[in-house]
């Protein structure tokens, strides 16, 4: 009987050990998915020196608006299991000695990185680097003049908001009445967002006041996911998303087709009406993830990986027999791993193909078709999508586009023209 009791105890210990070990293993090796369910609560959000947003969750880091998580210490080695990021921001003031430094708050300490390398002497106490700012903060975000009265850092803790003047180190504070408790804060396209749970709220950086009726699902606007909450407004999401477009074109009637991840947005030129659907619902052979698209003689030429699909524009769009064809067969490129953008201007027959920082011409009336006139893109080192119409070329980079009167002027430009917001100026998003 004693032997039986000892055996049962040993088995129970092994079961408990295995259960604990399984839980630890799941915690250590389990990779969070920001598109699962309604999304994740982010502990901190900041942009790097190239403008790429970094989303921190527990000990993981999401770079950009899509892609899998990685361990934070793969990019910032000091962010190990003992460091849980409470808040983060990038100091982006050219007059400051800390210009383009990224700061991470954890407990009562702060870390400073420059070009992803920890600065000497860090970590330091928050009170030493940012005197007047409390420990254990919830969120932080940069706020340049004139968006704030002076170049500042905004810090949130509980129901209080602190403004830290970068130049004078003066601190003012305010108790917030209507803004939710922020777990992270983010400045993006000159707007300010307080993230709380899986949602975010737009706020005024000077007063901390919440914009009326503006609480949204972060997954809808700051993530590129294949599925969304059933309550998601698909048109508004695609119209106002902060995630960059994969491809865009306008057809002979002036209608715009814009592709992002698994969805596309159709803007009717005659009525300005917007329609958002899954790519698979209208272009089932493609499924999703379009690399580039251009319109030519009433057809959409859609490039995905090493293949070109061609659809006749209509309701429904008709997939042409014989397609897809390879990029080599259709456009003559021998070794094109990824085409970034493509467009045809007006009633011309030259397809302009952008790969990395170069642009090529392909005569669509030629047989066989071959790329010619290779030249550098000039000031544009990367383009996500592009289209051309009666007013010229729109080159889309991230969440902005640049307008050029012609392809020649785009290639020859010595400086970037004025930035325009994709969501607002192409699709009429009002927030």
What does the DSSP 8-state code read for residue 223? -
pLDDT at residue 67, rounded to an integer: 80
Give the domains, in start order, of the chain with CATH numbers.
37-222 (2.110.10.10), 243-426 (2.110.10.10)
What is the rounded CA–CA span in Å between residue 130 and residue 145?
Answer: 19
- At 38 the pLDDT is 66
10-residue averages of pLDDT along the chain (431 residues)? 40 36 39 77 88 89 87 90 90 82 95 92 96 96 94 94 95 91 89 89 92 78 74 81 92 91 91 90 89 95 95 91 95 87 93 96 96 94 93 93 96 93 89 73
- With CA atoms as reference, report the closest residue to 262 among 238, 295, 239: 238
What's this model's pTM, rounded to 2 decimal places? 0.73
Helix, strand, coil percentages (3-state) for the chain, rounded to 5, are 15, 40, 45
Three-class SS of residue 183?
coil
Please state whether 403 falls in left (phi above 0), alpha (psi between -120 and 50) or beta.
Answer: beta
β-pair partners for 265: 258, 276
Give dist(CA 312, CA 298) in Å, integer.
6
Dist CA 45 CA 422 (whole Å)? 22
Residues in Cβ contact with 391 at an 8 Å cutoff, skipping those fewer than 6 apart:
403, 405
**Segments of 126-208 assigned E as strands:** 139-143, 152-157, 160-165, 171-175, 184-188, 191-196, 199-203
What pLDDT shows up at residue 27? Answer: 35
pLDDT of residue 229: 64
β-sheet with 184-188: strand ranges across: 184-188, 191-196, 199-203, 210-217
Position 323 scores a pLDDT of 96
Model pLDDT, residue 32:
84
288/303 Cα distance (integer angstroms): 11
């Amino acid at each position: 009987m004693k032997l039986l009791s000892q055996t049962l105890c040993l088995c129970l210990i092994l079961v408990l050990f295995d259960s604990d070990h399984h839980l630890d293993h799941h915690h250590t090796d389990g990779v969070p998915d920001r598109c699962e369910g309604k999304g994740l609560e982010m502990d901190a959000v900041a942009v790097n020196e190239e403008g790429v947003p970094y989303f921190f969750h527990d000990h993981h880091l999401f770079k950009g608006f899509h892609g899998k998580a990685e361990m934070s210490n793969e990019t910032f080695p000091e962010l190990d299991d003992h460091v849980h990021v409470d808040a983060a921001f990038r100091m982006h003031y050219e007059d400051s000695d800390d210009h383009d430094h990224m700061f991470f708050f954890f407990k009562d300490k702060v870390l400073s990185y420059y070009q992803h390398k920890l600065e000497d002497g860090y970590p330091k106490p928050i009170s030493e680097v940012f005197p007047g700012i409390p420990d254990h903060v919830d969120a932080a975000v940069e706020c340049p003049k004139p968006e704030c009265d002076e170049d500042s850092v905004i810090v949130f803790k509980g129901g209080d908001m602190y403004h830290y003047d970068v130049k004078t180190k003066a601190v003012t504070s305010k108790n917030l009445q209507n803004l939710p408790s922020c777990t992270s804060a983010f400045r993006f396209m000159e707007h300010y967002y307080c993230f709380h749970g899986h949602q975010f709220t737009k706020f005024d950086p000077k007063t901390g006041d919440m914009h009326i009726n503006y609480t949204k699902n972060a997954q809808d606007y700051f993530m590129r996911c294949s599925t969304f909450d059933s309550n998601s407004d698909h048109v508004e999401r695609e119209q106002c998303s902060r995630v960059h477009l994969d491809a865009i074109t306008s057809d002979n009637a002036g209608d715009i087709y814009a592709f992002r991840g698994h969805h596309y947005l159709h803007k009717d030129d005659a009525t300005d009406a917007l329609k958002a659907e899954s790519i698979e619902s209208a272009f089932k052979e493609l499924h999703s993830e379009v690399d580039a698209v251009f319109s030519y003689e009433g057809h959409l030429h859609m490039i995905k990986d090493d293949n070109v699909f061609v659809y006749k524009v209509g309701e429904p769009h008709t997939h042409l027999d014989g397609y897809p064809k390879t990029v080599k067969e259709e456009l003559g490129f021998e070794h094109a791993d990824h085409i970034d953008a493509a467009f045809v201007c007006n009633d011309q027959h030259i397809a302009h193909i952008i790969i990395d920082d170069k642009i090529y011409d392909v005569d669509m009336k030629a047989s066989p078709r071959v790329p010619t006139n290779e030249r550098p893109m000039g000031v544009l080192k990367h383009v996500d999508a592009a289209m051309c119409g009666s007013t010229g070329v729109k080159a889309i980079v991230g969440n902005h586009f640049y307008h050029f009167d012609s392809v020649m002027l785009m290639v020859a430009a010595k400086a970037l023209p004025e930035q325009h917001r994709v969501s607002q100026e192409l699709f009429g998003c009002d927030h």
